[in-house]
Structure 1
Amino acid sequence: MSIDEAAPADLSARPATTAPTLLHRPGRWIDNWDAEDTTQWNTVGKSIAKRNLQWSIMCEFLGFVVWQLWSIVVVYLPAAGFTLSTSQIFWLISMPSLVGATLRIPYTFMVPRFGGRNWTVISALLLLIPTIGLAVCVSNPDTPFGVLLAVAALAGFGGGNFASSMANITYFYPAREKGWALGLNAAGGNLGAAVAQLVVPIAIALGAAATLNLPLAGWLWVPLILIAAFCAWKYMDNLSNAKSDIAGSLAALREPHFWIMSLLYIGTFGSFIGFAGVFPKLIVDSFPAFSTLAMGPVTLSLAFLGPLVGSLARPFGGRLADRFGGALITVAAFAVMAAVALTVVWTLPLANFWLFLGLFLVLFAAAGTGNGATYRMIPIIFAVRGAVAGQTDLRESVSTARKSAAALGLISAIGAYGGFLIPQVLNASKGASGSYDFAFYGFVGGYVLMLVVTWFFYLRRSSTLGKV
């Protein structure tokens, strides 16, 4: 079967029947969970799902905070006495994304192995390692670059959390509500990037007199991590039907649409996390006078506005995808991203910071919207393909949900490599030509290519998988 031969399915909820009785076992395990059963969902399921989503968001939020700490910390390393080259700074920015993207692959399978609640607690506690490590190593300007790079790599623990968190939440919600739920879960996590870039400059300046209290960038988050881990342990649940297997995951890898969606997710989420990481550096290089703004006793970096806008846009991308189809919203997002990236190159010689900031906020908004829309497409595509493969019930079956959960985690892993690629492409452009122009022209070409791919497979009139 070709990749565009699948017929679209009506993914409506299963008609109300006698809801299976939920069984609660020790260790906060729940048996007989079926979010697609409208009776179970409307009586007890929705409240349970909402409670788990709330604490999942909290833990994933802190994961993103830790993942993005180095993106803002590196800006202050020279003032703290560290002597680093531009290339070394870009490596410190991109290394957490490289490790985080790679960790998302095994993290995808941790929920079925340990339980969603149990793994959320473990993954939250693992965040203590990179935060304490950062606090220790930045306290001494003589810390070798190799040590700084190793500790930055440990921040990848925070990036891995996304895959397990999203795979876990997808089991709690019916197919018709996954777009909004996954969008909220992801947006809550993505906000961590903005909060890290907002809070760290304020924290390290408060009470530091004429110096920077840079270790606070790490110590600040330790009590919050402990609180989040405790609340996840106390209030979240494990679902016994959240199972996965290697054979099912390999089947997902053999699905052509898995690789198509991975490419698209590099363009949407990869752009969000990549530009979130380098935005403080781009501001420092292009507009040093605006790198920080003094506000009384503290300094503020406006770089946080980029990931903030992108994070807030993500759930609305999922909601728009629920209404108009993820493919249409994704095409629109790529069109805007290409136009903005091109405009950034053409207007940079004007040396207008506020224009530069405004363009990047539009870019972040488009990337965030595309994140939600693209991610919403994945479970729908798997459900449709599962129906074509022989399922008579067009709702999302348990087996399809398991493959979809694995695909969500694996695609999120591949997409996160964009967080490594974008800083490194900018680094290469800067090193080769002294400017970032060639990198941005490359981004424009990439977005146009992804726009065409999305249209070809999911929007063409002759594509029977259209409007997913």
Structure 2
Amino acid sequence: MAEKILKGTWLTGWDPEDEDAWRRSGHQVARRNLALSILCEHISFSVWTLWSVLVLFMTPEIGLAFDPGEKFLLVATPTVVGALLRLPYSHAVTRFGGRNWTVFALLLLLVPTLLALYFIRQPGTPLWVFLLIGALGGVGGGNFASSMTNITAFFPQRHQGWALGLNAGGGNLGVAAVQLLGLAVIHTAGRDHPEYVAAVYLPLILLAAALAARLMDNVDAVRTVPGAQREAVRRADTWWISLLYVGTFGSFIGFGFAFGLVLQNEFGASPVQAMGYTFLGPLLGSLSRPVGGRLADRLGGARVTLWTFLAMGTGTLVLIIAARTGSFGLFVAGFSALFLLSGLGNGSAYKMIPAVFARRAENEVTSGHDATEAFARARRLSGAAIAVAGAVGALGGAAINLAFKASYADGSGSGTPAFLTFLGYYAMCVLIIRFVYLRRTPTRATAPGDVREASRA
């Protein structure tokens, strides 16, 4: 397949739905690009969430004394920037190519990493400097959208839940990896050397960029016609699924940034104690994301996402009980469960996007439209909708950190008001799935739980 359609640095005429070509060589090309994409996204997530670790080192002992509200603001800043960059990053990969943009975006990570390496060791550095560096670190969050849009084009629709879940899950592992690295630095070099955490990523960024340049492909299937994102944002389903993704990915990334600070403020945990637990939740959430995608491939994205939100609501109630009773063990267990469930929901919610647009294409073919054109258009709109959902979902992470900031700012030392807010949002997501996506009986052409879209007035 690939050897017959290679043209310069681009794969042209790529069609993963061609089963014969997929079996011959297409699956090998797709899996090679997926493996490199996972590596690059993993490093991007680590740099994006770097400040979730560095804030735990920021103590008066090294000349950086900031109150809890300022620290929550600092970890929220890269989340917001990463969310805002996801739409332009997704568009960029359709214009410049997956390989080309991946290499450029990786090298761009050197800027915030070098700045963090220098300024974290400068006593008396004002908060605005760290906020600026954190904002620059947001470029790592933008890489998620370009990576997911790129990988969507490589795999047939029947494997996209698995492929997207694996790609995102491998990237999400960067959240756990940077926290494990912080713990390792504390145990080997002590609490006075946070710069070592940033220093580790400099050679890794260069290595990943070199591998991407050598082994990844650009593929013409990812290129979108002008206005694809504009058309996607006019579709109601894009926004419904975006709201769901706020609840899943927003929870994962928001909790990933905030978990250590919450343990410090809720239970008075030391930096060492906090970091000893903070890696566990993101690790579980990252590993469960491909599982959520696989379950959605088999059972339907809407059904899996519904049960996930019901379970997340239960987990949030556990956190409220643990906070009120002062049970540290129950609190950590509840938070870890929420991470795992948010990972499952990430995979299943993303699976809903190609399923919905594929169903639209089926409806167009039934109405007499050309099948090749209809499904090609559905794939392009899926990529655009994925970018929108990714951007909106990441903003949910910032909202979670701001909710914690407001909750702990009242002097009560309790995150219960924030947890109650999250519980209400999860309940809203359950209603969206139940009345928008599970109100009709599935047809034979759809996976269970991914039902025909309701007609619009």
TM tier, shorter chain? Answer: over 0.9
Alignment of 1:47-86 (within 5 A): 47-78=28-59, 79-86=61-68
Moved over 6 A (4+): 462-466
Contact 1:276 1:306 in 2 (8 A): yes
Return the alpha-carbon distance in structure 2 between the equivalents of residues 88 and 290 of structure 1.
Answer: 18
Q: Which of residues 84, 88, 104 is equivalent to 1:106?
A: 88
Match of residue 129 from structure 1? 111
Contact 1:67 1:158 in 2 (8 A): yes
Return the alpha-carbon distance in structure 1 between the equivalents of residues 303 and 411 of structure 2.
Answer: 37
Quick one: which amino acid aligns to residue 44 of structure 2? G
Q: Deviation per CA, 1:85-125, whole angstroms, max 9, x where unpaired?
A: 22110111100000000000100111111110111101111
Q: Which of residues 167, 171, 195 is equivalent to 1:215?
A: 195
Match of residue 144 from structure 2? 162
Match of residue 352 from structure 1? 327
CA RMSD of aligned residues (A): 1.9
Return the alpha-carbon distance in structure 2 between the equivalents of residues 454 and 68 of structure 1.
Answer: 30
Unpaired runs of at least 5, structure 2: 451-457
Q: Deviation per CA, 1:232-289, whole angstroms, max 9, x where unpaired?
A: 0000001123211342221111111111001000011101000111001111122334
Contact 1:125 1:226 in 2 (8 A): yes
Contact 1:264 1:374 in 2 (8 A): yes
Cα deviation for residue 21 of structure 1 reads 7.2
Unpaired runs of at least 5, structure 1: 1-18, 294-298
Match of residue 231 from structure 2? 251
Contact 1:387 1:394 in 2 (8 A): no
Return the alpha-carbon distance in structure 2 between the equivalents of residues 171 and 35 of structure 1.
Answer: 8
- Which secondary structure state, in structure 2, belongs to the residue aligned with residue 108 of structure 1? helix
Cα deviation for residue 146 of structure 1 reads 0.7
Q: Does 1:237 align with 2:213?
A: no
Cα deviation for residue 457 of structure 1 reads 1.0
Q: Does 1:181 align with 2:156?
A: no
Return the alpha-carbon distance in structure 2 between the equivalents of residues 379 and 40 of structure 1.
Answer: 21
Higher mean displacement: 103-112 or 453-462: 453-462
- Which secondary structure state, in structure 1, belongs to the residue aligned with residue 49 of structure 2? helix
Contact 2:318 2:330 in 1 (8 A): no
Return the alpha-carbon distance in structure 2 between the equivalents of residues 333 and 349 of structure 1.
Answer: 25
In terms of fraction of residues, the more helix-rich structure is: 2
Match of residue 420 from structure 1? 398
Quick one: which amino acid aligns to residue 236 of structure 1? M
Q: Deviation per CA, 1:312-354, whole angstroms, max 9, x where unpaired?
A: 1100000000111111110111001111112211222322222
Identical amino acids, percent of aligned pairs: 41
Cα deviation for residue 393 of structure 1 reads 3.4
Cα deviation for residue 67 of structure 1 reads 0.7
Number of corresponding residues: 442
Cα deviation for residue 292 of structure 1 reads 2.0
- The two structures have a TM-score, normalised by structure 1, of 0.91
Q: Does 1:302 align with 2:261?
A: no
Match of residue 87 from structure 1? 69
Match of residue 455 from structure 2? none
Cα deviation for residue 179 of structure 1 reads 0.4
Q: Deviation per CA, 1:170-220, whole angstroms, max 9, x where unpaired?
A: 000000000000000000000000011111231255235xx5111112111
- Which secondary structure state, in structure 1, belongs to the residue aligned with residue 221 of structure 2? coil
Quick one: which amino acid aligns to residue 420 of structure 2? Y
Cα deviation for residue 20 of structure 1 reads 9.5
Return the alpha-carbon distance in structure 2 between the equivalents of residues 367 and 74 of structure 1.
Answer: 24
Contact 2:39 2:170 in 1 (8 A): yes
Match of residue 22 from structure 1? 4
Match of residue 454 from structure 2? none
- Which secondary structure state, in structure 1, belongs to the residue aligned with residue 381 of structure 2? helix
In structure 2, the CA distance between the partners of 1:72 and 1:183, relative to structure 1 (3 Å rule), is same
Match of residue 437 from structure 1? 416
Higher mean displacement: 349-358 or 96-105: 349-358
In structure 2, the CA distance between the partners of 1:320 and 1:451, relative to structure 1 (3 Å rule), is same
- Which secondary structure state, in structure 2, belongs to the residue aligned with residue 141 of structure 1? coil
Q: Does 1:453 align with 2:428?
A: no
In structure 2, the CA distance between the partners of 1:94 and 1:194, relative to structure 1 (3 Å rule), is same
- Which secondary structure state, in structure 2, belongs to the residue aligned with residue 423 of structure 1? helix
Return the alpha-carbon distance in structure 2 between the equivalents of residues 140 and 239 of structure 1.
Answer: 45
Alignment of 1:263-302 (within 5 A): 263-289=243-269, 291-293=271-273, 301-302=276-277
Higher mean displacement: 385-394 or 142-151: 385-394
Return the alpha-carbon distance in structure 2 between the equivalents of residues 132 and 43 of structure 1.
Answer: 44
Contact 1:22 1:33 in 2 (8 A): no
Higher mean displacement: 112-121 or 75-84: 75-84
Q: Which of residues 401, 405, 409 is equivalent to 2:383?
A: 405
In structure 2, the CA distance between the partners of 1:238 and 1:71, relative to structure 1 (3 Å rule), is same
Quick one: which amino acid aligns to residue 429 of structure 1? S
Quick one: which amino acid aligns to residue 78 of structure 2? P
- Which secondary structure state, in structure 1, belongs to the residue aligned with residue 242 of structure 2? helix
